[in-house]
Structure 1
Amino acid sequence: LPLSVVRCLRPMGAAGCAAGRGDHLEAVGHICSLKDAFGYENPSEIANLISAEKFEAALAIHLYKGGRLLQGSRIPFGIIFGGTDINEDIKHEEKHRVMGAVLEEARFAVAFTEKMKELAAAEWVWIPQDTENLHLFLLICGLRRVKDPLYLVDVFSEWHRREPHIHLLIIGPAVSYFFLLRERGRSSFGGRFLTMTAMDLDVPVLARNIPGNAAIIQHKDTGLLYTDPQEFVQLSKSLMNDPTLEREIVTKAKAYVKKHHSWDCEREAYQNLVLRLQ
């Protein structure tokens, strides 16, 4: 496997030692090419290099200095954190944004210490510490004040601090309120905001107990309804500890959607309604 190693090339320091790991890869038959990140100004130059050298994968040392050059790469790549990433570059807003974007594209990320991994995980939720115990809660809503997407942030922040493998992802169209949410989310619980739209996804649904939700979800049957943030955490923990309840809710929710909100049935109904307009 021809492999490009993009790094901030200096003869001394931890990054220099990391680059030496290329020997391990060559020992098992890979062909490695070490490139200095300072020799390239933008991702397009690296893209041309990848094409010319026919590299099939890449490894970047330093999330910002090397990783930014692999953004949009046509080949899979991994990242090795450098101390500068966590201790210095993370303090700069634009570098922080770029590093987060690089992590979203990377197949894996390597940290040399538990402390470095913890600091990175606190900044970018896309880095799971323990994938077997990872729990993701998706809040799907329009990011508007009337939707109150910050309703769970405080209690979730506390829960996340006690149990770092618990994460909350807020999904919805990015309107102006999004920027306030993003900044508060980042400082409160390492939250992540994504842009998508839930009882048909084969995952259990937890919803706030308000008339609109209660009209669709039957508590402990097709989903779970909570009245306050504390009850959300309580119900979530009970769901996580009861696989049988989870399966039952998912199954019944799926059946409800198929019966009452079938895409095929709705299509036929609308087609018939339109025929009446002729």
Structure 2
Amino acid sequence: MRLLFLAALRAHTGNAVTAERVRGHLEAAGHCCVLRDASDFASPADVADLLEAQHFEGALALHLHRSGRLLQGHGVPFGVIFGGTDVNEDAGQEEKKEVMGRVLQEARFAVAFTDSMKETVLTQWPHAKGKIYVQSQGIATTPNAAFDWNSFLERAEIHQSTENLHVFLLVCGLRRVKDPVYLLDAFSEWHQEEPNVYMVIVGPEVDPAFTREVRARVERARGVRLLGEMPQGDLHAALRRCCALVNSSVSEGMSAAILEAMDLEVPVLARNIPGNAAVVTHGVTGLLFADPQEFVCLAKRLVRDPVLEKALVANGRDYVSRRHSWAVERDTYQHLVEKLEGHVEE
């Protein structure tokens, strides 16, 4: 089957990574899946021209508003995957909510990453009942065996003995929804008390104006470093050497970085928002904080309590292996796409 897949493909964002993985699943089943950036199209009319010119038989959209609205009214069967901000933020705007409701009416199926996301969707659009499937993101990590930890510390200008060093890694593209500056003041105060703790922010410069703000804030914060993007294998290898993965986002669909940390047996410290709470059980698979002061309290507890760290790591790894299987995700998407061919009964 020849499929058009529309997604927001801004480099190194969660949506882009998810889209590439799903495309791989579909192509492994023999489909031709053409992935295009939704931002390249101003209206459904632009997509109509593409559908006709390249003879697509079906389509997928990742993000109900940003991508899904472009597939309306073409007569080509399509499915949608919720991105996170569409449900958590866009649904609060009446005009966008109305558009997304129409997209759901036309879609053959819709995929939510969590049960809570599905419940939120059904609260907003009850007519979608029966169309929504829950499929967690599948995770596979690939740490680079040749990664040099000391070079990483040197690049981050951390000149400390590695024996008693505690590095917290915050992985995110630099945009406001990820809120990388949320913990800076509290962490800086902690570093002044204990100079062996550092936080390193790793990720691409997605929003240039916001990146300048972040750089200015980091320069004033003690014990905090800002690095650019890293190859995924190096990032996974660096994460394995860190004390914990930190997530301070305002909104998340499902954080791949959190799940990758669990898979790599690294503790997780995440802001207590619905998307994070859906995958992190506080005190079991990770630690959830409500504000910067609680973050510091929990981080201190983590570095001083090896029993807690061991339990979080074991539980997190078990959770990912049970609930975020890459192979199960592949089977789900390959099966759902058959609905676009009409091979599967609802």
Between the aligned residues of both structures, percent identity stands at: 52
Equivalent of 2:193 in 155, 158, 162 = 162
In the other structure, the counterpart of 1:184 is 217
- Contact 2:156–2:227 (CA<8 Å) still a contact in 1? no
Structure 1 residues 107 and 168: CA distance shift in structure 2, 3 A: closer
In the other structure, the counterpart of 1:219 is 282
| Pairing of 1:142-153 with structure 2 (within 5 A) | 142-153=173-184
Structure 1 residues 107 and 260: CA distance shift in structure 2, 3 A: closer
In the other structure, the counterpart of 1:252 is 315
Normalising by structure 1, we get a TM-score of 0.53
Structure 1: gaps spanning 5 or more residues: 1-104, 109-120
| Pairing of 1:107-186 with structure 2 (within 5 A) | 125-175=156-206, 176=208, 177-186=210-219
In the other structure, the counterpart of 1:194 is 228
For the pair shown, the structure with the greater C-alpha radius of gyration is: 1
More RCO (CA 8 Å, sep 6+): 2
Which 4+ residue blocks in structure 1 deviate beyond 4 angstroms? Answer: 105-108
SS in 2 for 1:169: strand
> What are the Cα deviations for residues 166-210 of structure 1, in whole angstroms up to 9, with x where unaligned?
111112331212232123212312422332543222110000111
Structure 1 residues 264 and 128: CA distance shift in structure 2, 3 A: farther
- Contact 1:207–1:225 (CA<8 Å) still a contact in 2? yes
Equivalent of 1:238 in 266, 283, 301 = 301
- Contact 1:128–1:165 (CA<8 Å) still a contact in 2? no
> What are the Cα deviations for residues 12-69 of structure 1, in whole angstroms up to 9, with x where unaligned?
xxxxxxxxxxxxxxxxxxxxxxxxxxxxxxxxxxxxxxxxxxxxxxxxxxxxxxxxxx
SS in 2 for 1:164: coil
Instruction: Give distance in 2, aligned partners of 1:141 and 1:270.
Output: 26
Task: For 1:173, give the aligned amino acid.
Answer: P
In the other structure, the counterpart of 2:334 is 271
Structure 2: gaps spanning 5 or more residues: 1-147, 233-256, 342-346
- Contact 1:202–1:254 (CA<8 Å) still a contact in 2? yes
